[in-house]
Amino acid sequence: MGRKLSVFTTLAVGTAAYFITKKVLSDHQEQIKEKVAQIADEGRENAVRYYNHARDYVNEESGLQDTLNELKQKVADTAETFKSGDSVGQALSSLKEATTELRKQFDKEKDTESDDTVEDDIIIDGRSAFGEAKAAAEFEKDHPTEVFYPKD
């Protein structure tokens, strides 16, 4: 009974809200369009004003213009250096040499391992991690932790 009543109430409230919204929007549609156009115009005006302020600041500040020109030149020089390819070529050849040496070292290690018989058995002796934990627990039984409180 309660579930049917809540569904009916929700449906009635939703229908009423729809018709009220439709009535209000149809009565004030022209005012809403004017307000949206006004907000859009104000936004455009603010954008143009901020653009003009930024352009004037860049043009007036000679130090900023010089800094930007130096930065452009630095980027151009770095791009030209990479374009010539000397440093990139050296880096690639160095990488190839290091890779070859590493590959040789791995092959050498692999050959020595295959010659020797390697056992991968796990051996746990009396002083392994389990043994140490057991010894620590036994020590704690004999020597309990003492707590000292600060005296007032």
Is the model's pLDDT at 152 over the cut of 60? no
Residue 152 lies in a domain: no
42 pLDDT exceeds 70?
yes
> pLDDT tens digits for 90-107?
777 888 999 998 888 888
- 57 sits in which H/E element: helix 29-60
Classify residue 135: in a domain, yes or no: yes
The number of folded domains in the chain is 1
Question: How far is 49 from 56, CA to CA, in rounded Å?
Answer: 11
Please give the mean pLDDT across all residues of the chain: 80
Smallest CA-to-CA distance from 72 within 61, 64, 62, 60 is with 64
How far apart are the C-alpha atoms of 24 and 17, rounded to whole Å?
11
The answer on pLDDT for 66 being more than 70 is yes
Instruction: Give the mean model confidence (pLDDT) for residues 63-75.
Output: 81
pTM of whole model > 0.75?
A: no
Model confidence at 151, pLDDT cuts 50, 70, 90, reads low
Query: Which residue type is seen at 50?
Result: Y
Asked whether residue 51 carries a pLDDT value surpassing 60, the answer given is yes
User: Considering the domain boundaries, does residue 57 fall inside one?
Assistant: yes
Output helix, strand, coil percentages for the chain, rounded to the nearest 5. Answer: 80, 0, 20
pLDDT of residue 41: 93
Within-domain flag for 42: yes
Which range marks the domain in which residue 23 is found?
A: 13-142
The answer to whether residue 147 is domain-embedded is no
